[in-house]
Amino acid sequence: MTRPQRYLIRMVLFLVAVLAAAILLLGQLQEAFLANPALNGLILGVLLIGIVNNFRQVLMLNPEVRWIEEFKSDRSISGSAPRLLAPMATMLGERENGQFTLSALSTRSLLDGIATRLEEHRDLSRYNIGLLIFLGLLGTFWGLLNTVGSVGDVISNLSIGGGGDLSLVFNDLKRGLEAPIEGMGTAFSSSLFGLAGSLVLGFLDLQTGQSQNRFYTDLEDWLASQTRLSSGALSDAAGDQSIPAYVQALLEQTADSLEKLQRTMTRSEESRSQSNAQFMELTSKLGTLTDTMYTEHKLMERLAEGHLAQKNLLEKLADSQSGGGGMDASSKTHLRNIDVYTQKLLDEVSAGREESISQIRQEIRLLARTIAAKDS
């Protein structure tokens, strides 16, 4: 979040500029102040209180920003509890990891409470501005009343007598006009200090308002990122206010349960799709193995037929050789090798068939385990 230092710098620079202008006009300002020291001193006192109050309002934002930054970074919160964010600190005090979720109604309540507190702190500054204007106008009317009364006294006491000495008349008139001039000095000096003070406090109050608005905007952005929208969050404000808080909480909990159920059903559908895909793959493998076994079966039948044919041929050859005077040793060895090779071929075909059956059994076991895991 943005710290309010830049607004403090603006306020300090403005006060330095005002003080420099006051030093340049020190003589005239001193004469104006002495026209009515009591009233003008009161105006300057109110101005000083307003300046201190504006700086205090801006400086009060530093602990609030520091608390939010420590809470967001999951560091141990040092120092005292915040004042502006006291309701939020109370609500989030049990959150140790800095992670939380607020409903739209809770976020709006928090922001409304913080906005109200900020407005309450600015009420004194606005009152000081109005008070300076009022004191300036009060001095103006006070001076005008004194002026009007003094002019009336001068006119009533003015007389041309005693032999018609005009110098005495002018001296009396001059002494009589001193009181109206003092009244006019009071009127103009109080207006000068009152309006100038309100101008200074107005600029400081503007910077204070900008710093508070910036703080409120950053806080609103942060809380918006932590806000969970429920199904009724987009309804109008009147409808939300007409629903009790516990009913709103129950509806939000129900919406959360429905969302969890929907996610669970989605995962179940995905698992079912994966199971169907595995079934299809297993079916394809079983079909391939069935074709292989059928081919091997045909091959074994042909080999068996060939073996029988060779056996019959061998028997016929043996009979013919026995009838013709016997079989030589090389022929017997050749026939015996043929018999051995044929037997080996039959054994290999049988081993391949057993291996195929074993693979089918393993695929069936894997399928059964997969189905059991999905059901659990």
The pLDDT tens digits of the residues spanning 215-258 come to 888 888 887 776 665 544 434 444 444 456 666 667 777 877 88
Model confidence over 273-292: pLDDT tens digits? 887 787 788 777 777 777 77
Summarize the confidence of residues 101-125 as an average pLDDT.
Answer: 78
- In Å, how far are 299, 301, 310, 334, 353 from 348, measured between CA atoms? 12, 14, 19, 21, 9
pLDDT of res. 279:
74
Task: Please say if the pLDDT value at position 54 is more than 80.
Answer: yes
pLDDT of res. 224:
77
> What's the DSSP call for residue 234?
T
Report how far residue 33's alpha carbon sits from residue 190's, in angstroms, rounded to the nearest whole number.
Answer: 8
Model confidence over 179-197: pLDDT tens digits? 666 777 778 888 889 999 9
Summarize the confidence of residues 321-339 as an average pLDDT.
Answer: 61
Report how far residue 331's alpha carbon sits from residue 353's, in angstroms, rounded to the nearest whole number.
Answer: 33
Residue 152: pLDDT band by 50, 70, 90 thresholds? low
Of residues 202 and 267, more confidence is placed in: 202
Going through the chain in order, the beta strands assigned E by DSSP cover: 102-103, 227-228
Task: Please say if the pLDDT value at position 10 is more than 60.
Answer: yes
For 96, counting Cβ atoms within 10 Å of its Cβ (0-12 exposed, 13-18 middle, 19+ buried), the class is exposed
SS3 81: coil
pLDDT of res. 236:
41
Which residues sit opposite 103 in a β-bridge? 228
